[in-house]
Homo-oligomer: A and B are copies of this chain.
């Protein structure tokens, strides 16, 4: 099922555990920018067993800084997979019933080709010579993985945040290959505010002298400070104002009084700094530029529907379940309702749930019983209709 290739594509090879499942894609992939990738590695993980009819495959698509390690230990961080709340035996995305696939996105830094990979023409990391990719490109690469796995149709494609964009793109680009689709805490188009936040992050990275005009890997450097600031800025958008107040408020970090200085007096400062520093250890700065850019460029209606979402979905037979979280201000519930209105305008089959939560955007990654029950219910209903389970 997997084809081990060299992991020399990974610039941090010395520190890096072997990634077991890397497919050497040898079918050319034409990117939206016009460049053709003739062959490239695509790293993925699978969980559960594919049934004989190959009808129980679920593609989980990951968010900006996610990876293919959904439900098993991440070999880089040593931490549990990023969606163990949701994926596993007896979980809503039940690996006893479904065959779950997750691949590292194109442009990522966990084994799939991206700016940190080696450009075979120069034997150097691609850096900013790597072509700019789109959500559409990510999904076309995933389709090649399904071809390789000889899976014609996905029972479901499920993703939150940027993963939700990929889920929507799947529904738009390959409607005949998708039975059900769950776009979670996401948007059909990247808003000005979100472009703005990611632009701040990119500028922070590119302002770091250790970015070396994108060639830091060749120069054996790393724009730590810039990437850390980018992560800190983004991290604020993942939590609600209420969650920050509840979790940290104005509590001081290991002290009784403020220090009248610029150390981390407050717990929130210490927390954010830790988020920034630990992120640098696991993520490539150029990947951050490329993957955020792919999100900025995402505009489903323009790409697939002449500017109209209803046009994108006009003949779709896919069953949709759109989920938002009430306190999410990164991808607002209103942005989910725009998706729902587009689907409704095409008389598509769509459920929508705005989960009441105070956890902000991050809610989709956290323990949130109503969300779990929605996912379980929808998937179970769809599995009945698909004949995967009996009443």
Interface residues of A, Cβ cutoff 8 Å to B: 32-34, 128, 131-132, 189-193, 195-197, 199-200, 202-204, 206-209, 225-226, 228-229, 232-233, 236, 241, 244-245, 247-250, 258, 260-262, 264-266, 268-269, 272-273, 276, 289, 293, 296-297, 299, 329, 332
Closest Cβ of chain B to A125, distance in Å, is 17
Closest Cβ of chain B to A113, distance in Å, is 16
A196 touches B244 (CB 8 A): yes
Contacts of A193 in B (CB 8 A): 236, 241, 244-245
Taking each of A193, A226, A266, which has the highest tally of chain B beta carbons within 10 Å of its own beta carbon?
A193
Contacts of A229 in B (CB 8 A): 200, 203-204, 207, 229
Contact sample, A vs B, 15 pairs, CB 8 Å cutoff: A33-B260, A34-B260, A192-B247, A199-B268, A200-B229, A200-B233, A203-B225, A203-B228, A203-B232, A203-B276, A204-B207, A204-B229, A207-B208, A207-B226, A262-B293
A250 touches B299 (CB 8 A): yes
Closest Cβ of chain B to A197, distance in Å, is 6
Contacts of A262 in B (CB 8 A): 128, 132, 202, 206, 289, 293
Taking each of A32, A247, A265, which has the highest tally of chain B beta carbons within 10 Å of its own beta carbon?
A265
Contacts of A190 in B (CB 8 A): 250
Closest Cβ of chain B to A224, distance in Å, is 9
A258 touches B207 (CB 8 A): no
Neighbour of A261 across the interface among B132, B195, B207, B226, CB < 8 A:
B132
Among residues of B, the one whose C-beta sits closest to the C-beta of A245 is B192
Contacts of A202 in B (CB 8 A): 262
A207 to B258, alpha carbons, bound, how many Å? 22
Contacts of A293 in B (CB 8 A): 262
Contacts of A34 in B (CB 8 A): 260
A192 touches B272 (CB 8 A): no
B206 touches A204 (CB 8 A): no
A131 to B241, alpha carbons, bound, how many Å? 31
A202 to B225, alpha carbons, bound, how many Å? 12
A270 to B128, alpha carbons, bound, how many Å? 20
B269 touches A191 (CB 8 A): no
A312 to B202, alpha carbons, bound, how many Å? 44
Contacts of A225 in B (CB 8 A): 203, 207
Among residues of B, the one whose C-beta sits closest to the C-beta of A204 is B229
Query: Given that A276-B203, A296-B266, A299-B250 are contacting pairs, would A191 and B245 also be in contact in the complex, using a CB cutoff of 8 Å?
Result: yes
A293 to B272, alpha carbons, bound, how many Å? 16
Among residues of B, the one whose C-beta sits closest to the C-beta of A296 is B266
B241 touches A332 (CB 8 A): yes
A132 to B260, alpha carbons, bound, how many Å? 5
A258 touches B297 (CB 8 A): yes
Among residues of B, the one whose C-beta sits closest to the C-beta of A297 is B258
A208 to B223, alpha carbons, bound, how many Å? 11
Among residues of B, the one whose C-beta sits closest to the C-beta of A231 is B200
B197 touches A236 (CB 8 A): yes
Contacts of A232 in B (CB 8 A): 196, 199-200, 203
A248 to B229, alpha carbons, bound, how many Å? 25
